[in-house]
Amino acid sequence: MKILSVVGLCEILSRMGSELFFQQALRHLENDFSNWRHFKKSPRHATLYPFGVIELMPCSDDEFYTFKYVNGHPRNTKQGKMCVVAFGMLSDVQTGYPLLLSEMTLLTAIRSAAVTALGAKYLARSNSCHLAIIGTGAQSEFQCLMLRQQFPLTKLSYYDLDKQAMNKFENNMRGKNIFLQACDSIEATVGDADIIVTATAAKSGNDLIRPEWLKKGVHIHAMGGDCPGKTELGRAVLKNCKIVVEYAEQSLDEGEMQQMQTTDLYGELWELVSGALPGRENDQETTLLDAVGFALEDFSILKLVHELTEHPDYSDICVNSAIIPDLSDPKNLYSLISQIEANHRKRL
Amino acid sequence: MKILSVVGLCEILSRMGSELFFQQALRHLENDFSNWRHFKKSPRHATLYPFGVIELMPCSDDEFYTFKYVNGHPRNTKQGKMCVVAFGMLSDVQTGYPLLLSEMTLLTAIRSAAVTALGAKYLARSNSCHLAIIGTGAQSEFQCLMLRQQFPLTKLSYYDLDKQAMNKFENNMRGKNIFLQACDSIEATVGDADIIVTATAAKSGNDLIRPEWLKKGVHIHAMGGDCPGKTELGRAVLKNCKIVVEYAEQSLDEGEMQQMQTTDLYGELWELVSGALPGRENDQETTLLDAVGFALEDFSILKLVHELTEHPDYSDICVNSAIIPDLSDPKNLYSLISQIEANHRKRL
């Protein structure tokens, strides 16, 4: 089994350039969403604790099976740890044999930003130039850089309760030819924005935005609320939005949609991507992608990484580890033990 | 994250002796089953294909979360691959951080054999000396060696459609001070047995054993049927058995119990282990453990392996891999990318 560490992934990004990697991630994602019907899908398996969640997110087509392990522990940062870490695996459907184990903390940030860009491609005004970010945690820079692939962004306003996180964000985004506006309230941050991303570590039912703060025609991408009981927006905002989700069966349990009826849902993202449903229809409507994260997104980026690590340019980067036994007789698993016993007898 | 390969696990077994490891696996399993109520349990997540299955099996208590990835592809052996391979992970519930990734192909064989021994401890006659094995594939030797921890076995009869697999089994079990009887039919194999283990790669609804072939008071451990549509025994045998399962919610979908009503079920294994229900009550009854494999069993052996790899005697065996980023500022995930960009600028 190939193992791709964080260091290995960064080496790939370094060799190909992170911009190109971001573009490829977005292209793969769009392609996979357009093939939605070919995938075996299910809501993720979540184990809930009072202080966090651990999830397994499987997805499969006829060729590959992938899953991601990911947690969500908002209190982790207080002890110097990340709120969200992840790893993933890709295996061969024909044999069930695992092929690649990969870091996915960084890949999750990248694929989540790709989802934002993909949704905004169909739901935001194409001339959107002002992006507002609520929550400048680990995800925030990736959101901006991926959205910049799709939109002529010139202005970035942002807000976080944690001033250190705001400073970190500003340092990372400086010199990227985009005007940075640190704000001291959510109202000031979103007031003039064309696209709003909410990426907070929502702990319960929040109500971050008042409807009267919003400009006509804004697109909101809400990604921080993603567990039963955790939401970022109130009904007052939601009821005026054209709401799109990734996968209704999961989002009705986990997303902003927890507060709404199924009939309030406009559609699933793949319907927009495949052309089955129109996305934005005029410059006046308020749109919302209620994003919770879906396993197909992990499939998509894991497959990209698998393809890259098979390519000669990057084939030296993975480490191989004997996680799966390689037996001369596949029914003789016990040979592993009999070898030990034979060595033991020799030593006596 | 610590990574324990097959080679690493074999080194632990070699240093401590496989017998001692088997004993500890059995002890851990019994202890965890006696604490059944402390675990978060759910049926496994299975993705079914026409030619196999891929499963994720999570389980958790207040301290550790584990899951296993495991496949079942009966046709794999025809191309020199194992039918069942697996790996597992153990993480820290308080932070969600993964701690150990381990091979689990070998561990699954060992823990499945430990379940057989644990069930037989409560359900077989304590003076059982004749074991019959139907299906001498990858699991078979482990079954015998673990049952020998509990019973004064002197005779082993066995049968498989694959004569090579029977020879392999005989070679592995020779010199273990137990009389080996190769049989040419299931009837001849089970006729005089005290304990029967069925470990076939059941592909559909099989009916391996006729009730009239069975000795009074026999205990059957059926472990080969473990998917919807896959069973090893017919209703004629089942209706005369005291049937115990690991976890009813899963076994009713996957085990021999698919053919029966909930009311035909005697109890769950933990009830016998914890003393809530009597096991075998007399020498005449026919007992059955309808085993499909449950995530708590993986939890149990992964926790044992985790404890061992933390012990000074074995602490050199795991390899560490940077699967989870180690950041000075946990909210600055983007620092991984900005480092790449900085290096890139330096090179220009």
pLDDT digits (tens, 9 = 90+) for A23-76: 999 999 999 999 999 999 998 899 999 999 999 999 999 999 999 999 999 899
Best of B48, B340, B345, B348 to disrupt the A interface (most A CBs within 10 Å) is: B340
User: How far separated are the first and last CA of chain B, in Å rounded?
Assistant: 35
Calculate the alpha carbon distances from B5 to A256, B11, B61 in Å.
Answer: 42, 10, 25
**Sheet of strand A2-4: strand arrangement:** A45-49, A52-60, A64-72, A86-92, A98-103, A2-4, A319-320
Backbone torsions φ then ψ of B222, nearest 5 degrees: -100, 115
3-state secondary structure A290-318: ECCCCHHHHHHHHHHHHHHHHCCCCCCCC
Calculate the alpha carbon distances from A296 to A31, A67, A109, A303, A309 in Å.
Answer: 11, 9, 15, 10, 20
- Taking CB atoms and an 8 Å limit, are A18 and B337 in contact across chains? yes
- Taking CB atoms and an 8 Å limit, are B76 and A98 in contact across chains? no
Q: What pLDDT sits at residue B222?
A: 96
Residue A331, pLDDT above cutoff 90: yes
pTM tops 0.90: yes
- Taking CB atoms and an 8 Å limit, are B106 and A336 in contact across chains? yes
- Taking CB atoms and an 8 Å limit, are B337 and A56 in contact across chains? no
CATH code 3.40.50.720 for A125-293: yes
How sure is the predictor about B340, in pLDDT bands with cuts at 50, 70 and 90? confident
Best of A63, A336, A347, A348 to disrupt the B interface (most B CBs within 10 Å) is: A336
Length reported for chain A: 348
User: What single DSSP character describes residue B144?
Assistant: H
Q: Considering only alpha carbons, which residue of chain B is nearest residue A160?
A: B331
What digits encode the pLDDT tens for the residues A87-133? 999 999 999 999 999 999 999 999 999 999 999 999 999 999 999 99
Q: What pLDDT sits at residue B146?
A: 96
- Residue A316 designated active-site: no
How far is the C-alpha of B229 from the C-alpha of B219, rounded, in Å?
A: 23
- Taking CB atoms and an 8 Å limit, are A332 and B14 in contact across chains? no
How far is the C-alpha of B84 from the C-alpha of B35, rounded, in Å?
A: 28
More confident residue, A348 or A121: A121
Q: In this structure, are strands A265-268 and A286-290 parallel, antiparallel, or unpaired?
A: unpaired
Residues of chain B with CATH 3.30.1780.10: 2-106+297-335
Residue A347, pLDDT above cutoff 90: no
How far is the C-alpha of A35 from the C-alpha of B321, rounded, in Å?
A: 34
- Taking CB atoms and an 8 Å limit, are B322 and A106 in contact across chains? no
List the single range of A93-107, A171-185, B226-240, B288-302 with lowest mean pLDDT. B226-240
**H helix runs in B96-159, sequence order:** 105-123, 140-147
How far is the C-alpha of B123 from the C-alpha of A281, rounded, in Å?
A: 68
Backbone torsions φ then ψ of A171, nearest 5 degrees: -60, -40
Q: What is the mean pLDDT of residues A166-182?
A: 96
Residues of chain A with CATH 3.40.50.720: 125-293
How sure is the predictor about A186, in pLDDT bands with cuts at 50, 70 and 90? very high
Q: What pLDDT sits at residue B116?
A: 98
User: What single DSSP character describes residue B193?
Assistant: -
Closest CA to A103 of A225, A2, A30, A21: A2
Q: Which residues of A touch B40 (CB under 8 A)?
A: 47
Share of chain B above pLDDT 70, in %: 100
What digits encode the pLDDT tens for the residues A48-63? 999 999 999 999 999 9
Residue A225, pLDDT above cutoff 80: yes
How far is the C-alpha of B121 from the C-alpha of B140, rounded, in Å?
A: 18
Q: Which residues make beta-bridge pairs with B288?
A: B220, B243
Can you tell me the ipTM of this complex?
Answer: 0.93
Pick A65's closest partner by Cβ from B47, B109, B138.
B47
How far is the C-alpha of B327 from the C-alpha of B110, rounded, in Å?
A: 38
What digits encode the pLDDT tens for the residues B205-247? 899 999 999 999 999 999 988 888 889 999 999 999 999 999 9
Candidates A32, A226, A290, A298; catalytic one: A226
Residue B276, pLDDT above cutoff 80: yes
Which sign does the torsion angle of CA A264, A270, A273, A276 carry? negative
Cα B219 off chain centre by: 18
Structure token digits, residue A286: 């308020």
Share of chain B above pLDDT 90, in %: 91
Closest CA to A47 of B41, B101, B165: B41
Residue A202, pLDDT above cutoff 80: no
Q: What pLDDT sits at residue A215?
A: 95
List the single range of A235-239, A296-300, B96-100, B342-346 with lowest mean pLDDT. B342-346
Cα B12 off chain centre by: 19
How far is the C-alpha of A108 from the C-alpha of A25, rounded, in Å?
A: 11
How sure is the predictor about B69, in pLDDT bands with cuts at 50, 70 and 90? very high
Amino acid identity, residue A198? T
- Taking CB atoms and an 8 Å limit, are A142 and B334 in contact across chains? yes
B165-179 b/e (C-beta count within 10 Å ≥ 16 → b): bbebbeebbeeeebe
H helix or E strand, kind and range, residue A13: helix A6-16
How sure is the predictor about A345, in pLDDT bands with cuts at 50, 70 and 90? confident
Residue B345, pLDDT above cutoff 80: no
- Taking CB atoms and an 8 Å limit, are B67 and A56 in contact across chains? yes
Residue A348, pLDDT above cutoff 90: no
Closest CA to B125 of B208, B47, B196: B196
How sure is the predictor about A292, in pLDDT bands with cuts at 50, 70 and 90? very high
Best of B2, B15, B83, B95 to disrupt the A interface (most A CBs within 10 Å) is: B95
In the stretch 227-286 of chain A, residues with CB closer than 8 A to chain B read none
Length reported for chain B: 348
Structure token digits, residue B236: 């004629």
For all residues of chain B together, what is the average pLDDT?
95
Residue B346, pLDDT above cutoff 80: no
B94 — contact with chain A (CB < 8 Å)? yes
Closest CA to A197 of A148, A256, A144: A144
Q: Are the CB atoms for B6 and B106 separated by under 8 Å?
A: yes
Residue B211: how many CB atoms within 10 A of its CB? Answer: 15
Residue B339, pLDDT above cutoff 90: no
In the stretch 64-83 of chain B, residues with CB closer than 8 A to chain A read 65, 67, 69, 71-73, 76-77, 79-83
Q: Tell the burial category of A38 from Cβ atoms under 10 Å away from its Cβ (0-12, 13-18, 19+).
A: exposed
A312 — contact with chain B (CB < 8 Å)? no
- Taking CB atoms and an 8 Å limit, are A5 and B168 in contact across chains? no
Q: What is the mean pLDDT of residues B320-334?
A: 93
Q: Which residues of A touch B42 (CB under 8 A)?
A: 45, 47
DSSP assignment of A183-224 equals -SSHHHHHTT-SEEEE-----SB-----GGGPPTT-EEEE-S
Q: Which residues make beta-bridge pairs with A46?
A: A55
- The CATH fold assigned to A2-106+297-335 is ornithine cyclodeaminase, domain 1 (3.30.1780)
Q: What pLDDT sits at residue A46?
A: 94
Q: What is the mean pLDDT of residues A323-347?
A: 88
How sure is the predictor about B183, in pLDDT bands with cuts at 50, 70 and 90? very high
How far is the C-alpha of B124 from the C-alpha of B195, rounded, in Å?
A: 7
Q: What pLDDT sits at residue A226?
A: 83
Q: Are the CB atoms for A25 and A111 separated by under 8 Å?
A: yes
Closest CA to B81 of A118, A294, A96: A96
Q: What pLDDT sits at residue B282?
A: 97
Tell me the angle at which helices B6-16 and B18-34 cross, rounded to the nearest 10 degrees: 100
How far is the C-alpha of A204 from the C-alpha of A207, rounded, in Å?
A: 10
In the stretch 28-57 of chain A, residues with CB closer than 8 A to chain B read 40, 42, 45, 47, 49, 51-54, 56
Q: Which residues of A touch B330 (CB under 8 A)?
A: 76-77, 80-83, 138
Q: What pLDDT sits at residue B102?
A: 98
Cα B40 off chain centre by: 19
3-state secondary structure B164-180: HHHHHHHHHHCCCCCEE
User: What single DSSP character describes residue B248?
Assistant: H
Q: What is the mean pLDDT of residues A250-261?
A: 92
